[in-house]
Amino acid sequence: MASLSPRDKLTILADAAKYDASCASSGAKGAREGNPGLGSTEGMGICHSYTPDGRCVSLLKILLTNYCLYDCTSCINRMSSEVRRARFAIEEVVSLTVGFYKRNHIEGLFLSTGIIQSSDYTMEQLIEVARRLREAENFRGYIHLKTIAGASPELMRKRVSTPTD
């Protein structure tokens, strides 16, 4: 299979993420294609969430990968689904997040994923994205990580330092 550009991956993995139920705006119908209008919420890649102090923040909403070991019937990313597949490298997610953040397109990251290799391996990949954002990039924006079913409790409790720690 030909290797995908980061833009191709973003197209596939932002689109795949819209099925990850999290907020009202990411899957809502807005203006019709070819007739965009005010208030359109159509499109992919950006969703919204609320911080503990009540602010609404825009998030880059993507999957790390839409490959998955499992075959859950109602999931578009199930193993037997004939969708295009892609997988971001950790560094690509970090770079995209920081890039969009610096251009003022987002205030944080919503990262979900299919399950690859094992629940622990997949959870470690997500945590590593957060760790690099916080510790290497000094990123202080909002981060929402999916918790992977079956991942070990130690991983769930793992702490990622924030720049103020």
Where on the chain is the footprint of ligand SF4 (CB under 6 A)?
68, 70, 72, 75, 77-78, 114-115
Question: In the chain, what is the greatest distance between 2 CA atoms, to the nearest angstrom?
Answer: 49
State the minimum distance, in angstroms, from the CB of residue 16 to ligand SF4. 9
CB atoms near residue 155 (< 10 Å): 17
State the minimum distance, in angstroms, from the CB of residue 14 to ligand SF4. 15
State the minimum distance, in angstroms, from the CB of residue 96 to ligand SF4. 20
State the minimum distance, in angstroms, from the CB of residue 72 to ligand SF4. 3
State the minimum distance, in angstroms, from the CB of residue 21 to ligand SF4. 11
Closer residue to ligand SF4, CB minimum distance, 28 or 72: 72
How would you class 96 by CB atoms within 10 Å of its CB: exposed for 0-12, middle for 13-18, buried for 19 or more? buried
Closer residue to ligand SF4, CB minimum distance, 98 or 127: 127
Closer residue to ligand SF4, CB minimum distance, 72 or 83: 72
Closer residue to ligand SF4, CB minimum distance, 72 or 136: 72
Rg (CA), the chain: 16
Closer residue to ligand SF4, CB minimum distance, 78 or 140: 78
